[in-house]
Structure 1
Amino acid sequence: MAGITSKHPFNLYYNGGEYVKICGSQDGYFPDFGHHVANEMGGIWLHPIKLLDGFWLKLTDTKRNISVWSRADGFTSEPWGSRFQYDHGLSHIPIAMERTQFAPEQVKGMTAGYELRHYGEGELHLKVELLVRTDLRAVWFSDEVGVHKGSGDQAKVLNPREVLVRDPENDWFVQVGTDLPGDQLEVGPELYGPEFTTGVGCGIAFHTELTIPAGESRRFNLFVAGSYVSAEECTASYRQLAVGHQELLAEKLAVYHAVADRARLTIEGEDAWNEVFTWAKWNNQWLIQKVDGVGRALTAGGPTYPWWFGCDNTYSLQGVLAIGDPQLAKDTLNLLLQKSEEVNGNGRFIHEVTTLGAVSNPGNTQETAHYIAFVWDLFRWTGDEELLRRHYAYCVKGIDWLLEEMDPDQDLFPSGYGIIEIAGLNMELVDSAVYTAKALQAMAEMSAFLQDATAESKYRELATRCIEAVNRSFWQEEEGLYADAVAPASDVAPKVDYLVSLAEAQGVTGYREYVEGLLAEANANGTASEDRGWLLNKNWVIVTPMEAGIADPDKARRALNHMRNDTFIGEYGTYLSGTFQQGTMTISTGVHAVAEAVNGNANAALDLLNRMRRSFSRVLPGSFSEMSPDYGCVVQAWTIYALAVPFVRHFFGVEPFASRRELKLRPQLPSAWSGKACSLEQLVIADAEFDLSLTEKSGALTGYIRNEAGWKVTVEWNGQTISSEDKLIELTMSGQSS
Structure 2
Amino acid sequence: MTGLTSRHPINLYYNASEYIKICGTQDGFFPDFGHHLANEMGGVWLHPIKLLDGFWLKLTDLDRNISVWSRADGFTNEPWGSRFDYDHGLSHIPVALERIQYAPEREQGFVSAYKLRSYGRGTTRLRLELLVRTDLRPVWFSDEIGIMDGERDEAVVVSERDVLVKDSRHEWYTKVGTDLPQVTIETGSELYGPEFTAGAGLGVAFRTEIELNDKEEFEFRLFAAGSYMSKGACVRTYETISNRYDALLEEKQKVYETVEHRARLEISGEAQLNEAFKWTKWNNQWLVQTVDGIGRGLTAGGPTYPWWFGCDSTYALQGVLAIGDPQLAKDTLDLILRKSEEINANGRIVHEITTIGAVPNPGNTQETAHYIAFVWECFRWTGDEELLRRHYAYCVKGIDWLLGEMDPDGDLFPSGYGIIEIAGLNMELIDSAVYTAQALRAMAGMSEQLGDEAARRKYAELAERAVRAVNEEFWCESEGLYADAVAPTAQIIPSVDDMVSLSEQHGIAGYGAYLRRLLEQVDDQEADRAWLLNKNWVIVTPMEAGIADPDKARRALAAMRTPEYVGEYGTYLSGIYRQGTMTISTGVHAVAEAATGNSDEALDLLERLLATFSKALPGSFSEMSPDYGCVVQAWTIYALAVPIIRHFFGVRPEAHERRLTLSPKLPSAWRGKSSSLTGLRVGDAEFDIVITPKEGGGSLLSVRNEHGWQVTLEHGGERLESKDSIIEWTLHQ
Q: Find out whether 1:426 has 2:423 as its counterpart.
A: no
Shift of 1:695: 3.0
Give structure 1 regions of 4+ aligned residues with deviation exceeding 4 angstroms: 696-699
Distance in 2 (alpha carbons) for counterparts of 1:228 and 1:504: 45
Name the counterpart of 2:231: 231
Retained in 2: the 8 A contact 1:720–1:733? no
Shift of 1:703: 2.7
Name the counterpart of 2:703: 705
SS in 2 for 1:110: strand
Moved more, 1-10 or 364-373: 1-10
Q: Find out whether 1:24 has 2:24 as its counterpart.
A: yes
Q: Deviations over 1:561-602 (max 9, x none)?
A: 111110000000000000100100000000000000000000
Retained in 2: the 8 A contact 1:110–1:225? yes
Retained in 1: the 8 A contact 2:612–2:625? yes
Give 1:98-497 correspondences, 5 Å limit.
Answer: 98-497=98-497
Task: Work out the percentage of aligned pairs sharing the same amino acid.
Answer: 67
Shift of 1:19: 0.5
Shift of 1:17: 0.4
Name the counterpart of 2:720: 722
Retained in 2: the 8 A contact 1:576–1:582? yes
Name the counterpart of 2:551: 554
Name the counterpart of 1:676: 673
Distance in 2 (alpha carbons) for counterparts of 1:546 and 1:221: 53
Distance in 1 (alpha carbons) for counterparts of 2:699 and 2:452: 41
Question: What amino acid does structure 2 have at the position aligned with 1:478?
Answer: S
* TM-score, normalising length: structure 2: 0.99
Q: Paired residue for 2:568, among 557, 567, 571?
A: 571
Distance in 2 (alpha carbons) for counterparts of 1:702 and 1:396: 45
Shift of 1:700: 2.1
Q: Find out whether 1:536 has 2:543 as its counterpart.
A: no
Name the counterpart of 2:652: 655
SS in 1 for 2:155: strand
Retained in 2: the 8 A contact 1:381–1:657? yes
Retained in 1: the 8 A contact 2:590–2:601? yes
Shift of 1:696: 5.3
Unaligned runs of 5+ in 1: none
Q: Deviations over 1:658-677 (max 9, x none)?
A: 01000000100000011111
Retained in 2: the 8 A contact 1:113–1:220? yes
Shift of 1:734: 2.7
Retained in 2: the 8 A contact 1:480–1:558? yes
Distance in 1 (alpha carbons) for counterparts of 2:680 and 2:349: 30
Distance in 1 (alpha carbons) for counterparts of 2:60 and 2:499: 59
Shift of 1:644: 0.3
Q: Paired residue for 2:610, among 584, 608, 613?
A: 613
Q: Deviations over 1:37-71 (max 9, x none)?
A: 11000000000000000000000001000000000
Distance in 2 (alpha carbons) for counterparts of 1:630 and 1:696: 37
Distance in 1 (alpha carbons) for counterparts of 2:483 and 2:730: 44
Retained in 1: the 8 A contact 2:322–2:646? yes
Q: Deviations over 1:4-57 (max 9, x none)?
A: 101211000000000001000000000000011110000000000000000000
Q: Deviations over 1:698-729 (max 9, x none)?
A: 76231310001100000111111210000100
Shift of 1:731: 1.6
Unaligned runs of 5+ in 2: none
Distance in 2 (alpha carbons) for counterparts of 1:429 and 1:701: 43
Q: Deviations over 1:448-480 (max 9, x none)?
A: 111111111110110011111000010000100
Q: Deviations over 1:126-162 (max 9, x none)?
A: 0000000000000001111111111100102341211
Q: Deviations over 1:297-349 (max 9, x none)?
A: 00000000000000000000000000000000000000000000000000000
Shift of 1:227: 0.3
SS in 2 for 1:541: helix
Shift of 1:512: 1.1
SS in 1 for 2:140: coil
SS in 1 for 2:13: coil
Distance in 1 (alpha carbons) for counterparts of 2:435 and 2:558: 22
Question: What amino acid does structure 1 have at the position aligned with 2:677?
Answer: L
* TM-score, normalising length: structure 1: 0.99
Question: What amino acid does structure 1 have at the position aligned with 2:619?
Answer: G
Name the counterpart of 2:41: 41
Retained in 2: the 8 A contact 1:22–1:45? yes
Question: What amino acid does structure 2 have at the position aligned with 1:383?
Answer: G
Q: Find out whether 1:85 has 2:90 as its counterpart.
A: no
Q: Deviations over 1:526-576 (max 9, x none)?
A: x21100000001000000000000000000000001111100000000000
Shift of 1:694: 1.0
Retained in 1: the 8 A contact 2:651–2:661? yes
SS in 2 for 1:89: coil
Q: Find out whether 1:15 has 2:15 as its counterpart.
A: yes
Name the counterpart of 1:627: 624
Q: Deviations over 1:474-506 (max 9, x none)?
A: 000010000000000011111111111111122
SS in 2 for 1:155: strand
Retained in 1: the 8 A contact 2:681–2:687? yes
Distance in 1 (alpha carbons) for counterparts of 2:189 and 2:512: 55
Name the counterpart of 1:509: 509
Paired residue total: 732
Q: Paired residue for 1:688, among 678, 685, 699?
A: 685
Distance in 1 (alpha carbons) for counterparts of 2:589 and 2:515: 26
Q: Deviations over 1:105-126 (max 9, x none)?
A: 1000000000011111110000
Retained in 1: the 8 A contact 2:126–2:210? yes
Name the counterpart of 2:51: 51
Question: What amino acid does structure 2 have at the position aligned with 1:679?
Answer: S
Question: What amino acid does structure 2 have at the position aligned with 1:602?
Answer: S
Retained in 2: the 8 A contact 1:669–1:696? no
Pairwise CA RMSD: 0.8
Moved more, 395-404 or 446-455: 446-455
Distance in 2 (alpha carbons) for counterparts of 1:152 and 1:359: 27
Shift of 1:508: 1.5
Retained in 2: the 8 A contact 1:14–1:21? yes
Retained in 2: the 8 A contact 1:290–1:297? yes
SS in 2 for 1:53: strand
Retained in 1: the 8 A contact 2:370–2:436? yes
Q: Deviations over 1:185-207 (max 9, x none)?
A: 10111100000001000000000
Distance in 2 (alpha carbons) for counterparts of 1:233 and 1:498: 51
SS in 1 for 2:711: strand
Distance in 2 (alpha carbons) for counterparts of 1:573 and 1:470: 26
Retained in 1: the 8 A contact 2:95–2:117? yes
Distance in 1 (alpha carbons) for counterparts of 2:535 and 2:639: 20
Retained in 2: the 8 A contact 1:490–1:528? yes
Question: What amino acid does structure 1 have at the position aligned with 2:625?
Answer: S
Question: What amino acid does structure 2 have at the position aligned with 1:238?
Answer: Y
Shift of 1:87: 0.5
